[in-house]
Chain A
Amino acid sequence: MVEPHTAVPVDPAARAGYLAPPPRMGFFTDTSLCIGCKACEVACKEWNLVPGSGLDLLGMSYDNTGALTANSWRHVAFVEQPRPVGWQTTAPLAGLPTGPPAAPTTAGVGGAVAPEQGTLPGVVPASDAAPAARMADGAAFPGTPGTPPSGSGDRGRRAELRWLMMSDVCKHCTEAACLDVCPTGALFRTEFGTVVVQEDICNGCGYCIPACPYGVIDQRRGDGRAWKCTLCYDRIRVGRTPACAQACPTESIQYGELDDLRRRARARVERLHADGVTEARLYGHDPNDGVGGDGAFFLLLDEPEVYGLPPDPVVTTRDLPRMWRRAAVAALAMAVATVTAFLGRAR
């Protein structure tokens, strides 16, 4: 289902004080068109002079990048699942011989591998590889305990197979916690409504890193500063398309005015639903979600958790005013009590 808009979207640029800002710009990443070529990852690194990340084989299907980090601002996730996808008219493995699954310990190996990417905190090996093993065994799915995907587990009748690919990126939230907590002003809201780190101002305090509800922004080892996607601020200021969208051969990554992208996305979902791809859904498009909607939003073919995305992200600074209010009330009460105590003694 596509939820209707219930509120007038906030224009974060106007709120940030820009007078007559240009339209808010963003990404619509349509994973139903992604072919996993990783051109976005490479184009981003080429244009933005991002250092290489690790040369590690991760065993996570064809994903050897692992995560969005200071050294990877686009990340293509690959998810192999024993489930059908709406456009398949026949099951890929139907009628083929099946045997026992690979031992769970075998499959668990992938979870214990960490990419060495030169970033902080980086991606650490799983403390317990068992969940990954159970995924291969079909017993459970990490992050969604108790909801095994249909078709998995029973290898005797294995027939379905799909391979989801999704190019992840900074969401450029409407309510951006990283920006809220930045003490130096290195993170700022651009006139396009995007969120950018100024590398010459960032002092490497790292406050932004736990603030991001998506785990996007990251610190670079040996540098200390925080880095992430800028939505190619230098390119879009001169009217050019960001490098990743420019390189994408299948228009899986679309760049444009956010309102326009949202319209396109709704039409695309309706079209996919009509074509039988009923699992298509949008993620991050809703201005009423916990981050006020994303500047970079997605069309997914499964639950967000499957792609490593939080199902219900909330701007981590959402509760700060209330917390501060309570702290203020408490402080005030303390002050009053103290004053009262002194006054009482004086009496």
Chain B
Amino acid sequence: MAEAHPVGFQWVMEAKRRGATVIHVDPRFTRTSALADIHVPIRAGTDIAFLGGIVRYILENELDFREYVLAYTNAASIVSEDFRDTEDLDGLFSGYDPRTGTYDRTSWQYRGHEESGGGHEETATERESAAGLRHESHGPPMSGHVTRDETLQHPNCVYQILRRHFARYTPEMVERVCGVPREKFEAVARAWTENSRRDRTTMLVYSVGWTQHTVGVQYIRTGAIIQLLLGNIGRPGGGILALRGHASIQGSTDIPTLFNLLPGYLPMPHHAQHPTFGDWCASIRSAGQKGFWSNARAFAVNLLKAYWGAAARPENDFCYDYLPRMTGDHGTYQTVFGMIDGRVKGYFLFGQNPAVGSAHGRAQRLGMANLDWLVVRDLFLVESATFWKNSREVETGEIVPERCRTEVFFLPAASHVEKEGTFTQTQRLLQWREKAVEPPGDARSDLWFVYHLGRIIREKLTGSTRPRDRALLDLAWDYPTHGPHAEPSAEAVLREINGYEVATGRPLASFTEMRDDGSTLGGCWIYTGVFADGVNQAARRKPAREQSWVAPEWGWAWPANRRLLYNRASADPEGRPWSERKRYVWWDEESGQWVGEDVPDFEKTKPPSYRAPSGASGVAALDGVDPFIMQGDGKGWLYAPVGAVDGPLPTHYEPAESPVRNPLYGQQASPARKLYRRTDNPTNPSPPEPHSAVFPYIMTVSRLTEHHTAGGMSRTVRYLAELQPEMFVEVSPELAVERGLTHLGWAHVVTSRSVIEARVMVTDRVAPLWVDGRVIHQVWLPYHFGDEGLVRGEPANDLFGVTLDPNVLIQESKVATCDVRAGRRPTGPALRDLVADYRRRAGLDGHQPPVVTVDTDRPDTDRPDREE
């Protein structure tokens, strides 16, 4: 966090000054570790084993916050008798189909809800469309009426399933899998559990790198299980804090730049699943579901009204048919392979530099070299605009500048200080920023570009009678502009996002005012309220000393300016604060409402004693003790019967590339991971496959404080570039001896995709580990460098292949296997020869590693060779 989020880290330092214990788990010793009380070096890609060990520690020692767990989580819910765990099936859950690599989730459901599991086909569609992403603002649809056993004794209640599932994650196993010595693991487990109770809470913080694994979603699920068991969710000082890679990443999922989502986490319609508006709305909510998400139809209508204005009417389903439809996977990597194959013709890049920042850089560049046109909008001439004349592929002859067919348009972009608008940060806080200076020369804001591009296209289409142009011509595309360049008003856009009454123009104060009859419109229902009373609430800057410690008048947080989600859980089931020290939101008997430091995340006047009548659905079905108001059953999920396509519980799988045989199960890597089996996307072999020794080391990449992501904004700035002027690879002294590397000398790092060279940094901050009885070396590389800018180096992301998490289609680009050799890499065509030679030695010519490594024909028998 100190490395990549130094400004946010000031609050960790503040907490440390007040006596907080700071624990840092990271393969290498970073600037964060330097300030931490406990640093835990860990083998990259084994976090579920480590956190699973903590879950077991909590359950075996009965350290869970029992009152919280019973009332607020699904610990007591009873799961279908048909459910089989990874314990029974050697690393697979019940319902796995080895032919498709997907699960039929029927058996994962709560008892009596088996019909809502969906078959293999639905799971496959969800994987193709990264459906997990839409659960950011709310749980997946499911019915709210669940059989429970409040004694937690039923063998199929979630609590007992959890106990059995994690029984194997002993401290010895953690040591064996992660390379974390037992004493250190126990120190962390003790600190975490001792600091989580009625009057103490513990916060879990992760950054984007945590998600970049084939099991990234399950990493976070494991963290969530711990935090729920310890009562750290919905309470001040608790929670799971996701630090984003750069400004407004949160904002760009709320109002998404993703293929599968519409604003406010409404799913992009799928051609087969959502042929009609009714189908689409029905799919978002499930009949009998509890909670606010049951109003999804109103949110959808308001969005369509915001898009198509007067043209969107009830009789034409509010122009639902103008919305594009998904036909499958349209994710960024599918798109890149589509470019290589000639199926994608044009590409827009807004401040993105995939030639450096995305996994498998060679595929990125070869794809971009095979387009009709490419538009790059950036502050500087980044690698993704110059790959056709300056890249590794030009060196190897794979791209010939004179013959590269792609027409590249480079358009200079205004920086964040040269335009106005909002950033949404990790706490869901929208903060308005003013324009400080005019953008230089031809640089323009993204808003300017998109607005005028749309305006010009619409002008060109004026008079068109073709049906396909109606969606464009009917758009409500009228924003006030100002200044010599006709800059659209960002405030007007924010006002539309907030929503207003169509007849009067009165801004809506809350999404509860949204109607599904077309009388209101709003571009993103969760943002409704940011322009309440016609005031730009995101621009509020009241100093902390002039308001309460929650600071509700600084910026504006979605939803409803609520700073802490699910804060009903900060009070006990009777509505009293768990402790004086941690009081936050509580039930005030006298006034008959929820009061406290924050906007209560609950119906204001629903008493804790309220019990929904049977047959109720939606908001009315939420009991007074259901704090998780966006979940289908109102509870925090220790076990996820729906939502994840790769398992209802997190399970340790080895990364797609690992030098280690999975010590826990016969199943080596995630059986549901998303693969692109292509010859240009090889995967290094892992056990039980032979030849994994060809790539004996583990590599991981991340950021340096001095540079920003793919480097476009820092390698080009002299004052930043000089602080980290060259690409380097960090190795332990032991590995330096083993491979003959010298400090500041050259090394090259090889995978089956590519080879890059870097200067050597020998340091104790990277240490070898004992893993399963042998020494495992890890190397670390920054991923900031490329071929342009004041300081140059080879892109670390070139080394990765493309294997994705099945829930959200994020690539595994934080762990891979590699070889490290002293000296510089070969140049020109010899570079490809070296990589080809490695592929040949690894047995990868015409061969792809298997997905399933357990005998699925005899699923109930344990592998004998795993017994100890």
Contact = CB atoms under 8 A, between A and B. Distances in A.
Contacts of A45: 719
A82 interface: yes
Interface centre among A54, A101, A250 (most CB of B within 10 A): A250
B31 interface: yes
B38 A89 contact: yes
B775 A97 contact: yes
A236 interface: no
Contacts of B181: 94-96
Given A42-B720, A110-B744, A163-B29, 14 more contacts: A36-B31, A53-B722, A90-B39, A92-B41, A93-B764, A95-B183, A96-B770, A99-B737, A102-B733, A106-B736, A109-B744, A163-B31, A163-B765, A250-B13
Contact of A109 (B9, B31, B32, B745): B745
B205 to A, nearest CB: 15
Contacts of B7: 249
Interface string A35-55: 111110110011000001111
B791 interface: yes
A42, A59, A98, A165, most chain B CB atoms within 10 A: A59
A96 B775 CA distance: 9
B687 interface: no
A33 B738 CA distance: 36
Contact of B2 (A37, A46, A52, A107): A37
Interface in A79-117: 80, 82, 87-90, 92-103, 105-107, 109-110, 113
Most buried by B among A52, A110, A164: A52
A136 B737 CA distance: 14
Contacts of A41: 719, 723
A94 B41 contact: no
20 contacts: A33-B13, A35-B32, A36-B31, A42-B720, A42-B723, A55-B721, A64-B724, A80-B764, A80-B765, A89-B21, A89-B187, A90-B38, A95-B184, A96-B770, A99-B734, A100-B737, A103-B742, A106-B736, A163-B29, A249-B7
B10 A107 contact: no
Contacts of A251: 10, 13
A57 interface: yes
Contact of A107 (B37, B722, B762): B762
B767 interface: yes
Contact of B728 (A38, A57, A110): A57
Pairs A-B, 7 closest by C-beta atoms: A95-B181, A37-B6, A99-B734, A163-B34, A102-B733, A57-B726, A52-B718
A102 B736 CA distance: 6
A97 B768 contact: yes
- The contact size tier of chain B is 35 or more
B501 interface: no
B48 to A, nearest CB: 21
A7 B34 CA distance: 37
A126 interface: no
Given A57-B728, A62-B724, A99-B734, A92 B29 contact: yes
Contacts of A95: 181, 183-184, 770
Contact of A165 (B16, B31, B41): B31
Given A46-B719, A90-B184, A93-B41, A109 B763 contact: no
Contact of B742 (A90, A94, A99, A106): A106
B88 interface: no
Given A92-B29, A96-B770, A113 B744 contact: yes
A158 interface: yes
A70 to B, nearest CB: 14
A59 B761 contact: yes
A102 B722 CA distance: 27
Nearest to B34: A163
Interface of A: 33, 35-39, 41-42, 45-46, 52-57, 59, 61-62, 64-65, 80, 82, 87-90, 92-103, 105-107, 109-110, 113, 136, 155, 158, 161-165, 249-251
B33 interface: yes
A55 B736 contact: no
Contacts of A109: 742-745
B784 to A, nearest CB: 13
Contacts of A56: 725
B208 interface: no
Nearest to A113: B744
B706 interface: yes
Contact of A99 (B183, B733, B763): B733
A33 to B, nearest CB: 6
B722 A55 contact: yes
Contacts of B705: 35-38
Contacts of A155: 733
Contacts of B722: 52-55, 64-65
B723 to A, nearest CB: 5
Nearest to B769: A96
Interface centre among A64, A82, A165, by most B CB within 10 Å? A64
Nearest to A52: B718
A45 B35 CA distance: 26
A162 B36 CA distance: 10
B187 A97 contact: no
> Which of B38, B722, B725, B761 gathers most chain A CB within 10 Å?
B722
Nearest to B738: A99
Q: Which residue, of B29, B719, B763, B770, has the highest number of chain A Cβ atoms within 10 A?
A: B719
B37 A87 contact: yes
A162 B790 CA distance: 32
B718 A57 contact: no
Nearest to B774: A97
B105 interface: no
Contact of A55 (B6, B41, B725, B775): B725
B742 A105 contact: yes
B793 to A, nearest CB: 10
A100 B734 contact: yes
B737 A35 contact: no
Contacts of B13: 33, 35, 250-251
Considering residues A57, A94, A102, A113, which has the most beta carbons from chain B within 10 angstroms of its beta carbon? A102
A163 B33 contact: yes
A36 to B, nearest CB: 5
A44 to B, nearest CB: 9
Contacts of B767: 93, 96
Contacts of B721: 55
B673 interface: no
A97 B759 CA distance: 25
Nearest to B777: A97
B540 to A, nearest CB: 23
Contacts of B720: 42
Contacts of A39: 6
B239 interface: no
A64 B759 CA distance: 14
Contact of A102 (B184, B718, B743): B743
Interface in B26-66: 29, 31-39, 41
Interface string B686-719: 0000000000000000001110000000000011
- Kindly name the residue among B39, B718, B723 whose own CB sees the greatest number of chain A CB atoms within 10 A: B723
B765 A110 contact: no
Nearest to B182: A95
A88 B7 CA distance: 23
B184 A165 contact: no
A256 B788 CA distance: 42
Contact of A37 (B16, B31, B39, B719): B31
Nearest to A57: B726
B765 A102 contact: no
Given A35-B6, A64-B723, A101 B733 contact: yes
Given A37-B6, A55-B725, A97 B769 contact: yes
A264 to B, nearest CB: 13
A165 B666 CA distance: 46
B179 interface: yes
Contacts of B719: 41-42, 45-46, 52
Contacts of A102: 733, 736-737, 741-743, 762
